Structure 1
Amino acid sequence: MLGFQLDIKKKYELWSLVGPEPVRFSLLEFENLTGLNCEYIEDLERPHSVVTKELTSFWEMLGVHVEAGPSTQEIIAALERCEGWSRDDRKRLAYLAIFTGYIEGRKYSTPTRVSLARLVMELERFENYPWGRVAFKVLMDSAKGRDISGGYSMILSKV
């Protein structure tokens, strides 16, 4: 899809040529394809969470500083030593593995955003968070960050 990407000015849409037809990829298509929750929420990337004793203790078990988000590398290390953890803490660790590896998809040793990672302390809130919207934004930032000027791109004024 990036190979025949059209150069448009809309920040959260991709348009590509499939044969002679332009095809749009936006949050709507992403939600339909993934089935992830893409509902609108205020402060999507900076949700409010309080640093509690429970959070501090869990971050300590992870081996992560309380002001940092865990990296994939730290999550993998924690997976190797979590056998004696409570069911909820193992569930939190599994959710963080999905978040760090698939939602954010950062470099192996790069910490995730702590504001989003901390949501794992409230399991129901974490489970109902619009992760689809977060993942879509990460995808668009990545795709829009590519230089397509040397490829098959053109500027459309009405798209």
Structure 2
Amino acid sequence: MMLVADVRPTSQQLLTSQAGMTWLQFLVLLFITIFFLSMSVPLWLEQRRVTQADVDVEVISEAIKKYHRHTNQYPKFLDDLVSDSGVDGWRYPYLNEIPKTPWRGTYVLIPKIYKVCMANDGKNVSEKYLLGGSSEISRVYLEGRQAIQYWWQTGSVD
């Protein structure tokens, strides 16, 4: 009968063996991981900024509608939502403060076309998100029949 020798490595052999990754392999793996993260994080941040700007514009638009219900007129400036400008029916601050855009710019009220949008103030915002851009971030703040009439005349809600 033949005995089979035990072929398990000793602890000393395990410490000196070349099993596992070399430093070069580890560095290559680390470089590839950092490369893919650096490609995906800016896209995620941009989407997060767009979502936040969209929410901000919606909140401002709702505050304008509430202001209109109380005063029976639309504000001429966004500051009218924060502090009393002497308008009859003004009840309380409709916003605590006017938020800054996620790009650290400002929002603007355009009474002539009943829109709230981002100002073209030279901050790092892409042109496509500004008024008239292909992905414009804005809201029409008219209510009721006026909103329908405005939409019908211009052919678009935003």
User: Structure 1-normalised TM-score?
Assistant: 0.24
Larger Rg: 2
